[in-house]
Amino acid sequence: MSAISRLKYGSPNRFEAFSWYFMRVSGAVLLLVAVLHLLIMHVWYGVDAIDYRFVVGRWASPLVQVYDLALLLFAITHGVNGTRWVIDDYIHSRGWNLTLKAALYVLTVIFILMGATVIFTFDPDTSTTALNTVAAVFAR
Ligand code: HEM
């Protein structure tokens, strides 16, 4: 984040210092968690083995649920904080700056709730295909 943006849209306070460190720490965590995810899903199992049942079936294990939640939370919070920096650096109209960041935070909450709900509430025995699940929701 540039010094000008910091002065305009927020003081160089403790939150910004925390946010700077957070990007380093979450980047290091992502390096481990995201690369391991890639290796497990795309090298070990391989894309041919991955279908809807396989994905929801993995969540029968609490360890996989926690792992996927960590991947979700770190990727979203890291990505959102980085996007917040980009908005502060490039969007200098105060109205647009606030509007975009408000939209970003609303989407963040929605995506975290959606992701966590899917990870923790899916029942692989009753959900055979994505289409069936969508149909079941509309049939209620
Ligand atoms: C291996 C995984 C990753 C590592 C090691 C990593 C590392 C970093 C670091 C160190 C920064 C700070 C750069 C700076 O201060 O100028 C950063 C910025 C950023 N990261 Fe990541 N990151 C990773 C994955 C991701 C993912 C998955 C996303 C998107 C969801 C993302 C989105 C961003 C954004 C938007 C920024 C701000 C860019 C900017 O300031 O111009 N990163 N990343």
Give the residue-averaged pLDDT of 67-79. Answer: 97
Q: How far is the CA of 41 from the centre of ligand 1 (A)?
A: 22
51 three-class SS: coil
- CATH code, residues 3-139: 1.20.1300.10
Identify the residue with better confidence: 61 or 137: 61
Indicate whether 84 pLDDT > 80.
Answer: yes
Which residue's alpha carbon is nearest to atom 18 within ligand 1?
82
Ordered alpha helix ranges (H), 11-139: 14-38, 52-58, 62-90, 94-121, 130-139
% pLDDT > 90, the chain: 60
Q: What is the mean pLDDT of residues 51-61?
A: 84
Element (H, E) at 50: none
Instruction: Tell which one of 32, 78, 80 to mutate to probe ligand 1, the residue whose CB is within 8 A of the most ligand atoms.
Output: 78
With a Cβ cut-off of 6 Å, ligand 1 is lined by 23-24, 27, 30-31, 34, 75, 78-79, 82-83, 85-86
Tokens of 35: 């690369």
Reported pTM: 0.81
How confident is the model at residue 32, as a pLDDT?
A: 97
Distance 118 CA to ligand 1 centre (A): 25
- Which residue's CA is the nearest one to ligand 1's atom 36? 82
Segment 110-136 mean pLDDT: 74
What local confidence, expressed as pLDDT, does residue 14 receive?
83
